Amino acid sequence: MHKYKTHVKALRHGGPIEKLLAEMLVKLFGHCDKPVLIAVGGPGGTGKSTLCHDLSVALEGAPVLTLDDYKTAREFRQNQNIYGPHPDANKLSLIREHLVYLKKGIQFDRPVYCSKAGDVRSTAPFLPGRFNILDGEVSTYRDFRDLVDFSIFVDSDWRTQLQTRVLRDVKERGYSRDKAIATFLHSNLREFAEYGAESKKWADLHVHCHDNYRLEVESIAQDHFGVLEGLVPGQVKSICLDGLIVPPCTPFDVDGKIDERAFVEHLEYLSEHGVTRILVNGTTAEFCSLLPAERQVLLGVARRYFPGMILFNTGSDSLCQACEAARWGEDYGADAIVAMAPYYFSGAAEDGLVQFFDTLRKSVAVPMVLYNFARHTGNALTPEILRRVEHIAVKDSSNNAALIPATSCYLAGTSKRVVESMSAGAKGFVSALACCMPDLYVQLETALSAGDTTQALALQDEIKERSGAFVSPNEIAGIKRELSRKISGYPVNMRLPLLGT
């Protein structure tokens, strides 16, 4: 089950996150007369155990059940060439058995793993408390979800994970640096990506660990946002569609394959510069050149590494393919799908387009943003279509001002006339040039939000001046060249018929 999130921008909340979480948990479950189980999961090296310890203190000594004690024997894992996130590396049946006892308030003997021997050599009593914390990579796996009352997924960029794991494994486990790096590659980037990353969409709360180990709430299940907001009124703000949305490019290596490393680095670059919303598989991503499986890869990587709101374009030449893409978006954790008219049968009847969008919208539970790009689809969205189709916003690359009063949220598809569009009634803007100039666009977003038109116009002029040197004749190629200057090793390759010159 995908729990839809409200993405959060922290404004002034600077206190310890564990105290805030403890207050929220008491607010949510203080009335419960049975033990409450809180799972803290996520990849290794993100500070889960530290958070569990601090949260335990904030919850007045809530007991912590450490799942590292439930690992299978080291010899078995080595023979199978598996690492911590792999289901077979953990005694999942025993964990579940003990969690059933915990939920009933029954004491049990938990295993105690001996790191020197590489196996369990003893047990220790575990007495459930009012609140109980489950610490471990597998704590948010689907095997235990029916027993967990509240799940927290702690994440960070891969560099922070690598740094933490290398320092810990070298110091505490006596690994060589090479072995520690190899373990990270297998455990975090392969196994956890395969078996654990999907649990992020199920978690109730996402916490991001910054490179200085500061923890910050990233998003929270929609049902719980009101509780969080009530605890820190005026100190957190939900991230909505209003403002800047960036459509990242798709980086291709020399063989034409997606360069996931470069894509991750671009996502991190955008996030570091204050971008909070992205559109995956947009026109800038050359989406019509991507195979279905490649679109899924990009969305999965984005959900794993980008902490903000993610829109997912379902654009296709058929309804069945668009519906399938919409279901990928829902499964992979997109916050909304973006739907454009099919791009072969131009001049389609209005009733046909309305039924197309209605069918697509009803295929998933996530909200739908309409995408008007008549130059490519041959089917312009009209005010009447907008009035007949349920949607939360319209992204308009046709600059049709007549659509503004027909929708509750008009998103201008422009990079260079943002101020004019916002003055005309747009709530936000999707700007491709922000891929390589996120700092200027975030400043522009801030100026517009503050109503400082003079500053906004000055920033827009600066954007036009800077971009003039690289956007012509092919904007996507120019953006990739500019990104290669700012992100070391970012590839400039494109897929035919586009040329990277």
pLDDT at 501 over 70: no
Q: Could you read off the pLDDT of 92-126 as tens digits, one per residue?
A: 999 999 999 999 999 999 999 998 899 999 999 99
Q: Are residues 124 and 137 in the same domain?
A: yes
The answer to whether the beta carbons of residues 373 and 346 sit under 8 Å apart is no
For residues 208 and 68, state if they share a domain. Answer: yes
Q: Tell me: do 399 and 446 sit in the same domain.
A: yes
Paired tokens of 134: 């489950």
Residues 404 and 422 in one domain: yes
- The string of pLDDT tens digits covering residues 183-207 is 899 998 899 988 998 888 889 999 9
The last residue of one of the domains, among 238, 257, 290, is 238
User: Residue 275 carries which DSSP code?
Assistant: -
Token duo for residue 396:
């308009």
**2 pLDDT above the threshold of 70:** no
pLDDT over 60 at 229, yes or no: yes
**Residue 499 within any structural domain of the chain:** no
Q: Please check whether residues 274 and 200 belong to one and the same domain.
A: no
b/e per residue 105-127 (b: at least 16 CB within 10 A):
eeebebbebeeeebebeeeeebe
352 inside domain? yes
Q: Strands of 11-49 (E only): list them.
A: 36-41
State the chain's mean pLDDT as an integer.
Answer: 92
- Both 399 and 473 in one domain: the answer is yes
We report the CATH number of the domain holding residue 329 as 3.20.20.70
* 82-96, 212-226, 406-420, 484-498: range with lowest mean pLDDT: 212-226
Q: Name residue 395's beta-bridge partners.
A: 371, 411
Q: Please say if the pLDDT value at position 11 is more than 60.
A: no
| Judgement on whether residues 275 and 170 belong to the same structural domain of the protein | no
501, part of any domain: no
Query: Are 212 and 266 found together in one domain?
Result: no
Do 384 and 258 fall within a single domain?
A: yes
Residue 480 in any domain: the answer is yes
Mean pLDDT, rounded, for 395-409: 93
Q: Are residues 194 and 83 in the same domain?
A: yes
Helix (H) or strand (E) run with residue 229 in it: helix 222-231
Tokens 């902490």 sit on residue = 307
Name the E strands within 364-413.
Answer: 368-372, 393-396, 410-412
Q: Which 8-state DSSP code applies to residue 185?
A: I
The answer for residues whose C-beta is within 8 angstroms of residue 465's C-beta and 6 or more apart is none
pLDDT band at 88 (very low <50, low <70, confident <90, very high): very high
Supply the range of the domain harboring residue 298.
243-486
| Residue 494 resides in a domain | no
Q: What CATH number did the domain enclosing 100 receive? A: 3.40.50.300
Q: What is the mean pLDDT of residues 332-351?
A: 90
Last residue of a domain, one of 219, 238, 257: 238
Alpha-carbon span 376 to 380, nearest angstrom: 9
DSSP state of 432: G
Residue 13 has pLDDT above 60, yes or no: no
Greatest alpha-carbon pair distance for the chain in Å reads: 73
> Which residues touch 249 (CB under 8 Å, ≥6 apart)?
266, 284, 285, 286, 435, 476, 479, 480, 483
Of 238, 270, 296, the last residue of a domain is 238
β-sheet bridge partners, residue 135: 40, 66
Q: Is the pTM of this model over 0.75?
A: yes
Does residue 496 sit within a domain?
no
Instruction: Tell me, yes or no, whether 493 lies in a domain.
Output: no
Number of domains, the chain: 2
Residues 275 and 227 reside in one and the same domain: no
Query: HEC states along 285-350?
Result: HCHHHCCHHHHHHHHHHHHHHCCCEEEEECCCCCHHHHHHHHHHHHHCCCCEEEEECCCCCCCCCH
- Residue by residue, DSSP assigns 130-171 as SEEEEESGGGGSGGGTTT-SEEEEEE--HHHHHHHHHHHHHH
pLDDT of 460-470, one tens digit each?
Answer: 999 999 988 88
Q: How many residues does the chain have?
A: 501
Assess whether 437 and 312 both reside in one domain. yes
CA-CA distance, 474 to 501, in Å (whole number)? 8
d(C-alpha 321, C-alpha 281), whole Å: 14
What's the CA gap between 305 and 278, in Å, rounded?
Answer: 12
**Is residue 202 a part of any domain in this protein?**
yes
CA distance 201 to 5: 9
